[in-house]
Amino acid sequence: MNKKWWHDKVAYQIYPKSFYDSNGDGIGDIPGIISKLGYLADLGIDILWLSPCYQSPLADQGYDISDYYSIDPRFGTMEDMERLIAEAKKRGICILMDLVVNHCSDEHEWFRKACENPEGKYGKYFYLRDKKEGDLPTNWRSYFGGPVWEDLPGTDKQYLHVFHRKQPDLNWENPEVREEVYRNINWWLDKGLGGFRIDAIINIKKALPFRDYEPDREDGLCSINAMLTEAKGIGVFLGEMRDRTFKKYDAFAVGEVFNEKPEEIPEFIGDDGYFSSMFDFNEAVFGGSEKGWYDITPITPDDYKKCCFEAQARVGDIGFLSNIIENHDEPRGVSRYIPEGDCCIESKKMLAALNFMLRGLPFIYQGQELGMENVPIASIDEVDDISARDEYQVALEAGLSSEEALKVVSKYSRDNARTPMQWSDETNAGFTTGTPWLKVNPNYLSINAAAQMKDEDSVYSFYKKMIALRKDPVYKETIVYGALEPVWAERHNLMAYYQKGERTLLVVGNYQRDEQEVKLPTVYKNVLLNNYHDIAQENGTVRLHGYQVLVLEMSA
């Protein structure tokens, strides 16, 4: 594997709307991000991924772009964006923007022109079909619920949208569409971006010609996955995109990829892969069900471990996964991966270390470094997330009571990750002086950056130590390029692995409230991380405290 400039970095995801509001309108913005660059640099962040801040009606919070070449005024101006790129650069931080090109907004000029003249140039930018009363072109269910077909306003046609109806899919089979995409990517790279996070990209290749698939719910529709599994040849598009854009700039590109087959991994993230890296979603998709969120099997510590190790084994040293415990589409990792009732400072640090030390590129989602938790939801009316609103209905239709349905939604809603960043114990967690667009998690009085930065034992301080360890010249080579080897893989509620390189590191976490003993295979030379102040041991046997995690340098 060739070494790349980004391999030893630490990345951080910002959800601009909820990060920091500089002008009191209740919406986070780019000047707000600029004012927090010091915080990020101090934490040790090198790569910043911004969720979309392009011009958008915000039907899906910016993942519905109406102009790829401008910044939405709610987030700032193009000058602000240029200033952010420049100011970040001064601190050694590079910026990734979100590339959302499976679809645009129905308010994009292309779509408006397609409505005006469906037979013209822009009609071919989308997937249009003649409307037949009572008969949809296909029976696919959109990710956010309901059929993927919607009437094309003012015409006798319908258009395809695999996400929300305000997110019409772009027709990648049309070379003109692809040219537009490449032009846009290069335009931004010319502004000095470090690269992109690539949204929903597995959806750009459709199985043609369109056809129905076996319905998988009472609604007579089927999940998009049925069609995607059949779609062949996405690599032609992805390879072309790489060659025409990222490759020329040595840019970093991380793909939102869910369904790669093991034999495709080298094409996706090998030395000359379509992407630099792709996210490991193995833990996030665990227990998923075609029926809906209400049918998800909750993940246990043993499942979590298995998912991580499986993903690691699948990729091996072919390339680099990007490791996450949460993002803007997922509930908070500490609320999901730590057994109910056990979410505490120790367990949060344990989860942090087990994930952060895996082979790959660590991505931290805003607030994760503080151990931010899911938000209590009292009523469905409080929910902003369009997918959560849909899943609430799905749960009701499946026969759950409204309380049960709300419980499901509270657990998995994307709002959990989107509540404002908790900066301090001041009003609105110091996020805004106005009214926040989404309710602040009431636990901000106890969980906030200002308090944690002063506290040596906080989750924040632990993250800072982990990041410093990844950059420590003595251990860097081992942590970044070492080979991961699971240890005691069959033991219950214990997750442990070696990172073997120039040095040998052992990462071991007691994934339960009760103590648990491990007999170390060799003696250790150094304790690199410990979420307790002591190690209880006798003759090489360590009695791990509840949720204790250790990173040890072993004698080889």
Active site residues: 199, 256
| 163 touches, from ligand GLC, Ca ion, none (C-beta below 5 to 8 Å by class) | ligand GLC
CB of 24 to Ca ion, least distance (A): 7
Rounded to 5 degrees, φ, ψ at 390 are -65, -45
Q: Which amino acid is at 390?
A: D
Identity of the residue, 13 or 531, whose beta carbon is nearer to ligand GLC in the bound complex: 13
Q: How much of the chain is helix, strand and coil, in % rounded to 5? A: 35, 20, 45
Binding residues for ligand GLC, per CB under 6 A? 60, 63, 100, 163, 199-200, 256, 328-329
Identity of the residue, 61 or 458, whose beta carbon is nearer to ligand GLC in the bound complex: 61
Which residue of this chain has its Cβ atom nearest to Ca ion in the complex? 29
C-alpha to C-alpha distance for 555 and 527, rounded to whole angstroms:
12
Q: Which amino acid is at 60?
A: D
Q: Which amino acid is at 447?
A: I
CB of 438 to Ca ion, least distance (A): 13
How many residues bind Ca ion, per CB under 5 A? Answer: 5
| 199 touches, from ligand GLC, Ca ion, none (C-beta below 5 to 8 Å by class) | ligand GLC
| 23 touches, from Ca ion, ligand GLC, none (C-beta below 5 to 8 Å by class) | Ca ion
Identity of the residue, 76 or 319, whose beta carbon is nearer to Ca ion in the bound complex: 76
Q: Which stretch binds Ca ion (CB under 5 A): 24-32, 53-61, 263-271, 273-281?
A: 24-32
Identity of the residue, 31 or 367, whose beta carbon is nearer to Ca ion in the bound complex: 31
Q: Are strands 252-255 and 277-279 parallel, antiparallel or unpaired?
A: parallel
CB of 230 to ligand GLC, least distance (A): 21
Q: Are 321 and 304 in contact (CB under 8 A)?
A: no
| 27 touches, from ligand GLC, Ca ion, none (C-beta below 5 to 8 Å by class) | Ca ion
| 63 touches, from ligand GLC, Ca ion, none (C-beta below 5 to 8 Å by class) | ligand GLC
Identity of the residue, 15 or 498, whose beta carbon is nearer to ligand GLC in the bound complex: 15
Residue 285 DSSP label: T
Q: Which amino acid is at 475?
A: Y
Q: Which stretch binds Ca ion (CB under 5 A): 23-31, 174-182, 232-240, 477-485?
A: 23-31
CB of 471 to ligand GLC, least distance (A): 28
CB of 27 to Ca ion, least distance (A): 4
CB of 374 to Ca ion, least distance (A): 25
Helix crossing, 234-244 with 175-190: angle to 10°?
40
| Other CB atoms within 10 A of residue 363 CB | 25
160 DSSP β-pair partners: 149
Nearest alpha-carbon partner for 203 in 291, 137, 144: 144
Q: Which of 10, 15, 21, 147 binds Ca ion (CB under 5 A)?
A: 21
C-alpha to C-alpha distance for 372 and 449, rounded to whole angstroms:
10
C-alpha to C-alpha distance for 221 and 347, rounded to whole angstroms:
41
| Other CB atoms within 10 A of residue 259 CB | 13
By the rule CB under 5 A, 23 interacts with Ca ion: yes
3-state secondary structure 379-423: CHHHCCCHHHHHHHHHHHHCCCCHHHHHHHHHHHCCHHHHCCCCC
Nearest alpha-carbon partner for 501 in 518, 479, 523, 478: 478
Residue 46 DSSP label: -
129 DSSP β-pair partners: 158
C-alpha to C-alpha distance for 528 and 545, rounded to whole angstroms:
17
C-alpha to C-alpha distance for 304 and 306, rounded to whole angstroms:
5
Q: Which stretch binds Ca ion (CB under 5 A): 22-30, 177-185, 290-298, 493-501?
A: 22-30
Q: Which of 14, 27, 241, 321 binds Ca ion (CB under 5 A)?
A: 27
Q: Which of 8, 25, 216, 457 binds Ca ion (CB under 5 A)?
A: 25
| 60 touches, from Ca ion, ligand GLC, none (C-beta below 5 to 8 Å by class) | ligand GLC
CB of 3 to ligand GLC, least distance (A): 29
Identity of the residue, 186 or 433, whose beta carbon is nearer to Ca ion in the bound complex: 433
Strands of the sheet containing 149-151, edge to edge, are: 128-130, 157-160, 149-151
Which residue of this chain has its Cβ atom nearest to ligand GLC in the complex? 63
Rounded to 5 degrees, φ, ψ at 549 are -130, 140
Identity of the residue, 17 or 157, whose beta carbon is nearer to Ca ion in the bound complex: 17
CB of 211 to ligand GLC, least distance (A): 24
| 268 touches, from ligand GLC, Ca ion, none (C-beta below 5 to 8 Å by class) | none
| CA distances for 160 relative to 102, 200, 497, angstroms | 11, 15, 46
Identity of the residue, 76 or 331, whose beta carbon is nearer to Ca ion in the bound complex: 76
Interacting residue ranges for Ca ion, rule: CB under 5 A: 21, 23, 25, 27, 29
